[in-house]
Homo-oligomer: A and B are copies of this chain.
Amino acid sequence: MQGDAEQLLREHGLQVTAQRLAILRAVSSRPHGTADELIDDVRAVIGSISRQAVFGTLNVLVEKNLLRRIQPAGSPARYEDRVGDNHHHLICRSCGLTFDIDCIVGAAPCLVAEEDHGFEIDEAEVLFWGRCPSCKRTGETDTPVG
């Protein structure tokens, strides 16, 4: 999802703005970052941006499938530019540290439910929960950080 971000935006019928470019770059250099983390990153680069511009842009980019949003329990939403595959996530219950886990199957839905209750299932989302090496060491308690 790197390369010509400008191109990418245009291809999806979006206007090219400094804010959007900066947001794309921020997501790319901080995978699984929260909106607030990304706001800080973007401000460090382009000086200033409104909260709403960031939320709005993240929304439109997710909608256009240029970004993916994950919403793990106890955390604000996180964003990544690794889209179009069906990877999963490994999350530390204490500090929220998040890793990508490659899907063994590849395509979604990568697991089948025994009983589908008539649903049209399009995804099997898998979240591996645990404790990261550093939180294990320090005996950190369960207070996931945003």
Number of copies: 2
Min CB gap A116→B, angstroms: 7
Out of B77, B114, B130, name the residue touching A120 (CB < 8 Å). Answer: B130
Tell me how far the C-beta of A119 lies from the nearest C-beta in chain B, rounded to whole angstroms.
Answer: 4
Cβ–Cβ contact A114 & B102, under 8 A: yes
Cα distance A92–B122 when bound, in Å?
10
Cα separation A14 to B96 with both chains bound (whole Å): 31
Residue of B nearest to A103 (CB): B114
B128 and A121 contacting across the interface, CB-CB below 8 Å: yes
Looking at chain A, what size class is its interface with the partner chain? 35 or more
Residue of B nearest to A118 (CB): B133
| Chain B residues positioned under 8 Å from A74 (CB to CB) | 71
Q: Is A1 part of the binding interface, using a Cβ–Cβ cutoff of 8 Å? A: no
Contacts of A88 in B (CB 8 A): 113
Q: Mark A74-96, 1 if CB is under 8 A from B, else 0.
A: 10010000000000101011000
**A130 touching B119, Cβ below 8 Å:** yes
B123 touches A128 (CB 8 A): yes
Q: Is A8 an interface residue (CB 8 A)?
A: no
Across the interface, which residues of B come within 8 angstroms of A124, CB to CB? Answer: 126-129
